[in-house]
């Protein structure tokens, strides 16, 4: 669980920021186990106690958030690859 924590924190922090600017009201979904407000709405589990959130609407939303995050990461990779290719092309044409 500790290794996951380091990986999760940047996502949790950025999501906490985004949630603040959203108009979902001051309180997000709460964990049914520990009753604390969830920091991340993209995790299947409570960020505090690790309990599974048994809420179909929440889980659907969480899955959507994860898909959105993955798509964003994917786009970033593609852009980086395109940049590399452009640089290589430019270098080759400079040599000729
Ligand atoms: Zn909890």
pLDDT tens sequence across 64-92: 999 999 999 999 999 999 999 999 999 99
Confidence (pTM): 0.53
Contact 69, 11 (CB under 8 A): yes
Query: Helix or strand or coil: residue 77?
Result: helix
Which pLDDT score is estimated for 11? 72
Q: Is the pLDDT of residue 6 over 80?
A: no
The alpha carbon of 96 and the centre of ligand 1 are apart by a number of angstroms equal to 63
The alpha carbon of 54 and the centre of ligand 1 are apart by a number of angstroms equal to 11
The alpha carbon of 50 and the centre of ligand 1 are apart by a number of angstroms equal to 6
The alpha carbon of 10 and the centre of ligand 1 are apart by a number of angstroms equal to 19
Which pLDDT score is estimated for 94? 82
Among 42, 45, 46, 44, smallest CA distance to 66 is for 42
The alpha carbon of 35 and the centre of ligand 1 are apart by a number of angstroms equal to 6
- What DSSP assignment string belongs to 35-76? -PBPS-SS-SB-TTT--B---HHHHHHHHHHHHHHHHHHHHH
């Amino acid at each position: 669980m500790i290794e996951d924590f380091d990986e999760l924190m940047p996502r949790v922090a950025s999501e906490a920021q985004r949630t603040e600017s959203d108009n979902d009201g001051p309180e997000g979904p709460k964990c049914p186990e520990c009753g604390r407000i969830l920091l991340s709405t993209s995790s299947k589990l409570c960020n505090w106690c690790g309990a599974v959130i048994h809420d179909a609407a929440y889980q659907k939303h969480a899955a959507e958030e994860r898909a959105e995050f993955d798509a964003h990461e994917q786009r970033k990779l593609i852009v980086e690859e395109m940049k590399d290719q452009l640089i290589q092309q430019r270098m080759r044409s400079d040599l000729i």
